[in-house]
Amino acid sequence: MNRHGSQTKTTMASGDKAGQILMVDLTRRICRFQAFPEPALPFLGGRGFNAWFLYHHLKQGTDPLGPDNILLFSTGLLTGSAAPCGARLHINALSPLTGILGSSNIGGYTGAWLRSCNLAAIVVTGTAAGPVYLYVHEGGARLVSARDLWGLDTAAVQDRLRQMHSHEKTRILAIGPAGENQVRFAAVMTEKDHAAGRTGMGAVMGAKNIKAIVIAKGSHKHLPADTPQKKQAVKTYAALVRNASEFSFFSRYGGAGYLQWVNDFGIMGAKNYNEIGMTDVSAIDGRKLAEKRAGTSGCFKCPVQCKAELVMDPARPGDISTRPEFEPMINFGPKCGLADLAAIVRLDNLCNRLGLDTTSTASVIAFAMDLDEKGLMPEHLKTDLDLSWGNARTMETLIHQIATRTTELGRLLACGVRHAADQIGTEAAACAAHVKGLELTAYHPGAIMGTALGYAVSSRGGDYNNVYASLEYSWSKEAAIKEFGTALAVDIHATQAKGWLIKKAVVTNILVDCLGLCKVPVLSLLKSFNLEPEISLVNALAETGFTRDGLTETGEKIAAMERLFNLRHSVLPLLDQLPDRFFSGKEVPDGLTRKALSSMLAEFYQAMGWDKNGIPPDLDTPVEKKQNPAIPEQPLF
């Protein structure tokens, strides 16, 4: 049902265009292909397919780092097609960091290479007896020993594997030492700086003894532009992206170029969210990195090409770094009180090589610095470290300690701020900025109400990019009045209509992840939360009959599925709340109160069609409405 109660219908992609599934049983060393499950077709691909699969197959009580966890790599419907910006691959499993839905998204070329082998997804179960890598090609797949690769960082292992498979065009997903050591926020990397960072999918790979996935390019053409109409649809969409008002800025500076804006806008979290904004932000303005740029790159068929290689020291032209994205710029910078641009670049690149999520890594470091300033850091954990704000040398040391888990503090921080605070003691919890165990991203929730609500309800825990509610500040008042009935919906300090606004953001983001598109062109540049250009594009290429209302219903159902999955698997109460610190203290504006958040939550649940406790109605399979719904499982093999 749509908001006005009318029935809508969507024509889904047919099974012959969906691609195959590669099923990998590590314990039995079996790799086999099977057809895309017909019941999963309505969920499109990517995030939707993964949610459907985990909802039906993952057992309650599964250990996230045990053999029964299921790890999925799934392409979106448009990934690897002729569509501009169709490069994304979605990774899901039960998260070792949060204990609920682990979910991360990665760009580059690996998703497109999978599609070139006529593969829509890889489903990994069990645990290998020793280190392996998975080699995938158009004709099959096999597991290969990776004992000689274990211990290499993400750049080194990719270089080694490219040499080993030099006769083929390959793309590689890999983990570093952090994943091998099962740091609970370890990342999966491809190339030097494309990361599936959040929720610890690299730790799941490490626990399963998978060092890498090597994908050899195949010959399959997925949804090609093979008619004049399809070619025109591709040309039209690419022109929309290139003509977007911020296209040139984003192509030149990437996300790193927006630090001054977010600081001036008054929503930047600083010093572990004890402050909003940074007085000397000009010192780390990412636009300064343009003069260091040695080359640009980006994802498969993306016109933006927002990645950049840097030469930070002209005396060492062969020493190449990669430009950090928006989140690591803020997280290693203002969140940790660091105002050294070169140090931020160095720390970001170090995390990429070791295979660490930069957001959680910077957050646990900021947490430690906050504890130290407040006199709450135990001396036996601190040892000889100088944990004062902005100490780049200490930050680098802690990154190594976290990745290798060689010190007591490193092992503690490697489990995330929620666990670390629990171990250190009650007072430490006041410094732990997380929701459902996932460390928060760059925006300060006390300064921007829609984002505060988005943090509280995100299906993977406290995270902006999973909800990506940029319409809160990018849509006009006129658009807000038309969509939500009030211009206050796009007033960042107001709480009115934020439940409906975040519902729209949640559903739209799910659909973008299902289509395999990147959120930068779709939501940041085109501000396309109604997905009208994207619907035209997919209908042309896939010869589908999608409608806006029909896709909205699909997104709502996937959101409900993710929610029910979390209710089933969460050991702790599944609270849509923010840390206490954001409801008191000098840094919090008047807007964010417990009453205000409760009101926004109630409106969000209403908008989603969930009950007052945030529990969705039954899906196709009858589900008892309780804390841990029991859902019948279906066989994997």
Closest by alpha carbon to 472, among 457, 494, 441, 456? 494
75, 516 contact by CB (below 8 A): yes
CA 393/CA 486 separation, integer angstroms = 49
Q: Is the pLDDT of residue 589 over 70?
A: no
Lowest mean pLDDT, pick from 14-28, 207-221, 412-426, 561-575: 14-28
CA 490/CA 501 separation, integer angstroms = 8
- Per-residue CA distances from 575 to 199, 578, 601, 602, 614 (Å): 17, 9, 11, 13, 10
186, 200 contact by CB (below 8 A): yes
Q: Is the pLDDT of residue 628 over 80?
A: no
Fold assignment, 255-431: 1.10.569
pLDDT of residue 623: 36
Average pLDDT over residues 493-505: 97
Number of H helices, E strands in the chain: 24, 19
pLDDT of residue 630: 38
CA 123/CA 635 separation, integer angstroms = 13
**Residue spans in the chain of domains classed CATH 3.60.9.10:** 17-216
Q: Is the pLDDT of residue 636 over 80?
A: no
pLDDT of residue 591: 67
Average pLDDT over residues 359-386: 96
Q: Which CATH superfamily is domain 17-216 in?
A: Aldehyde ferredoxin oxidoreductase, N-terminal domain (3.60.9.10)
- Write down the mean pLDDT value for the chain: 93
pLDDT of residue 21: 97
295, 327 contact by CB (below 8 A): no
CA 230/CA 503 separation, integer angstroms = 32
Q: Is the pLDDT of residue 72 over 70?
A: yes
Q: Is the pLDDT of residue 496 over 50?
A: yes
Q: What 3-state DSSP class applies to 21?
A: strand
pLDDT of residue 6: 33
Of the chain, the percentage scoring pLDDT greater than 90 comes to: 90
pLDDT of residue 55: 97
Average pLDDT over residues 418-439: 95
Which residues 6+ apart lie within 8 Å of 387 measured at CB?
Answer: 368, 369, 371, 372, 373, 377, 394
Looking at residue 581, the DSSP 8-state letter turns out to be: G
pLDDT in tens, 394-405: 999 999 999 999
CA 349/CA 323 separation, integer angstroms = 8
Q: Pick left, alpha or beta for residue 46 (phi over 0 → left; psi -120 to 50 → alpha; otherwise beta).
A: left
Lowest mean pLDDT, pick from 187-201, 409-423, 487-501, 569-583: 569-583
Q: Is the pLDDT of residue 9 over 70?
A: no
pLDDT of residue 426: 78
The band of 573, judged by pLDDT with boundaries at 50, 70 and 90, is confident
Tokens of residue 619, six digits: 């899906």
Q: Is the pLDDT of residue 179 over 60?
A: yes
- Per-residue CA distances from 239 to 372, 526, 535, 608 (Å): 51, 11, 16, 34
pTM for this prediction: 0.94
Average pLDDT over residues 210-218: 98
Any idea which residue has 């779709």 for tokens?
A: 522
pLDDT of residue 588: 47
pLDDT in tens, 32-47: 999 999 999 999 999 9
Average pLDDT over residues 499-503: 98
* Beta bridge pairs of residue 134: 143, 213
Q: Is the pLDDT of residue 621 over 50?
A: no
Q: Is the pLDDT of residue 78 over 90?
A: yes
Of the chain, the percentage scoring pLDDT greater than 70 comes to: 93
CA–centroid distance for 293 within its chain: 26
pLDDT of residue 633: 43
Average pLDDT over residues 541-564: 96
Lowest mean pLDDT, pick from 67-81, 313-327, 623-637: 623-637
Q: Is the pLDDT of residue 357 over 60?
A: yes
**Residue spans in the chain of domains classed CATH 1.10.569.10:** 255-431
